[in-house]
Amino acid sequence: MSRQSIFITGAAAGIGQAAARLFAAKGWFVGLYDVDEAGVQTLSRELGEDFTCAGKLDVTDPDAWEHALAEFAARAGRLDVLLNNAGILASGPLESIPLARQHLLIDVNIKGVLNGCYLALPYLQRTPRSRVINLCSASALYGQPSLAVYSATKFAVRGLTEALDLEWSEYGIRVMDVLPLFVATDMVTNMNANSFRKMGAKLTAQDVADTIFKAARYDSKIPKVHWTVGFQTRAFYSLSGAAPDLITRFINSRITGSH
């Protein structure tokens, strides 16, 4: 039996790189894909080119996805986990962020995940008990001011995850998402949001990678779709399901300094 394999987008840095290191250390074959081709090639050499493959991938480009998945499948022989990790962020008042940048958030964070799910399905169907893990965010629990479009994209990822987990259960494919709060990576550098200024980034990329690995190995008959990372996110997640919208809105307004 060939070793288990994972295809990771946004693998050159941050959470994607931490996940790549962890899965490689656990003996998985790891596909490293990113718009930063030099970064993933360097990581591939470090982790071992016999147990990794690496290449450039713009997740907004379906043709690039098809090429990357075919290349990966030829090397790995199977696709156990698709990790849709690639994402971008823009922060600040909605009107202060160029509209083109807002559209790019949608293209990368939503269409990139859709492209991956759609085009990876035939490979996932050929691998028993395969799964998709989508990087989501605690901002998908209640819309966040100064992160409005980013937050909206993560709501979309959450909805897509829930729908596909039900839809693809007939194929034996599980679809999950991981919801961290702010993570200490380059993505939050110079973030312009009151919630970040008040709460800071208490999670590390390794914290998120550890949760991703647990999701990849989860084997209970009881479905677990949403995976929170850290105490703060678990608390917000529990609150979002239990508290009325007015209370949730009030708590978020206090955290973000909005009214």
Domain housing 144: 5-256
Q: Is 171 a catalytic residue?
A: no
As for how many domains the chain has, the answer is 1
Q: What is the pLDDT of residue 144?
A: 85
Chain mean pLDDT for the chain: 88
Higher pLDDT, 202 or 43: 43
| Model confidence at 203: pLDDT above 50 | yes
Q: What is the pLDDT of residue 243?
A: 47
CATH of the domain at 179: 3.40.50.720
Task: Say which of 33, 123, 142, 150 is annotated catalytic.
Answer: 150
Task: Give the model's confidence band at 50: pLDDT under 50 very low, under 70 low, under 90 confident, else very high.
Answer: very high
**Long-range contact pairs involving 150-158 (C-beta distance under 8 Å, separation at least 24):** 150/89, 150/90, 150/91, 150/105, 150/109, 153/87, 153/105, 153/106, 153/109, 153/110, 154/109, 156/109, 156/110, 157/84, 157/109, 157/110, 157/113, 158/226
